[in-house]
Amino acid sequence: MKLLRYGPPGQEKPGMLDASGTIRDLSGIVPDLAGEALSADGLSKLAGIDPATLPAVPGNPRLGPPVTGMKNLICIGLNYADHAAETGAPVPKEPIVFLKSLGALSGPNDDVIIPKGSVKSDWEVELCIIIGSRAKCVTEEQALDHVAGYAVGNDVSEREWQIERGGAWDKGKGCDTFGPVGPWLVTKDEVPDPQNLSMFLDVDGKRMQDGSTRTMIFGVKTIVSYVSGMITLHPGDVIFTGTPPGVGLGQKPSPVFLKAGQTMKLGIEGLGEQTQRTVAYEG
């Protein structure tokens, strides 16, 4: 299944994408894509519905993040061997874990705001894990039992704030709109091997990232197990799993960063695509 949320920010309704690409309204079935709706039983009930029996949603509505009610936006840093190489960083011996502010979460095609004073805003196409049920200290063998599915994410990052301003990475990662997720949650039964998905990101039509989840250092099972040993995972929690090479920071002969007025387009095999316009902060 492809599950989504549509409508104005803060007023999204749950929906399902049918085989023809039409959005079907789920609001008469579940109040939202959160909590119990994301559990194995909840997803099984949704899978048993004939989409043709649901109201079709007219037009081309805005898409919000495909899930809500999360407690954590978690990120794994330097999790692709080829990306670590382009940044000159050593391959991590354990997953590097940091957090994005929940305020960073945004819809897949919403504008990305370049923060006031930013000079090194950057892009990162990433596979996102969507948690479906509470996970605490789970083994790798148990990990996928707690996963609802996967989505495309863009871990937008301000590199000067992340690297040069002292402290943790979080300050360059959690800015408003720096966490687009979607367009939909693809349930795990439709993604038999999350470690073999091609992925890309273009800036103004130029291919910048062209990679695959095959080069992830720590796979989905390891990440969920590892993080759950430190942070209790809850339904709707999102884990950004790292990015392949081609980020602005790694461009040769010199880095390239985002400016207002540009367009990012990114996608992952089987999970859909996002398009964001960059805009200057006004305030």
Query: Are 39 and 125 found together in one domain?
Result: no
Mean pLDDT of all residues in 224-238: 98
* 65 domain residue, yes or no: no
Query: Are 120 and 241 found together in one domain?
Result: yes
Confidence at residue 98, expressed as pLDDT on a 0 to 100 scale: 95
* 49 domain residue, yes or no: yes
Q: How confident is the model at residue 16 (pLDDT cuts 50, 70, 90)?
A: very high
* 102 domain residue, yes or no: yes
In angstroms, the CA 258 to CA 263 distance is 9
* 67 domain residue, yes or no: no
Query: Are 187 and 122 found together in one domain?
Result: yes
Query: Are 114 and 153 found together in one domain?
Result: yes
Query: Are 39 and 93 found together in one domain?
Result: no
Residues β-bridged to residue 210? 200
Confidence at residue 164, expressed as pLDDT on a 0 to 100 scale: 86
H or E segment and range at residue 126: strand 125-131
Query: Are 228 and 120 found together in one domain?
Result: yes
CATH number assigned to the domain comprising residue 207: 3.90.850.10
Residues contacting residue 45 through CB under 8 Å, at least 6 positions apart: none
Query: Are 78 and 49 found together in one domain?
Result: no
Does the pLDDT value for residue 13 go beyond 80? yes
The phi, psi pair for 39, rounded to 5°, reads -70, 170
Query: Are 196 and 82 found together in one domain?
Result: yes
Q: What percent of the residues of the chain are helix, what percent strand, and what percent coil, each to the nearest 5?
A: 20, 30, 45
- The 10s digit of each residue's pLDDT in 18-72 is 999 999 999 999 999 999 999 999 999 999 999 999 999 999 999 999 999 999 9
**b/e sequence 24-46, b meaning 16+ C-beta within 10 Å:** bebbeebebbbbebbbeebbeeb
Query: Are 78 and 133 found together in one domain?
Result: yes
Query: Are 23 and 112 found together in one domain?
Result: no
Does the pLDDT value for residue 115 go beyond 80? yes
Query: Are 31 and 108 found together in one domain?
Result: no
Q: How confident is the model at residue 241 (pLDDT cuts 50, 70, 90)?
A: very high
- In the chain, pLDDT over 90 holds for what percent of residues? 92
Query: Are 30 and 128 found together in one domain?
Result: no
Tally of domains in the chain:
2
Q: How confident is the model at residue 270 (pLDDT cuts 50, 70, 90)?
A: very high
Q: Which domain holds residue 8?
A: 2-53
* 61 domain residue, yes or no: no
Mean pLDDT of all residues in 204-211: 98
Q: How confident is the model at residue 91 (pLDDT cuts 50, 70, 90)?
A: confident
* 224 domain residue, yes or no: yes
Q: How confident is the model at residue 282 (pLDDT cuts 50, 70, 90)?
A: very high
Q: How confident is the model at residue 95 (pLDDT cuts 50, 70, 90)?
A: very high
* 30 domain residue, yes or no: yes
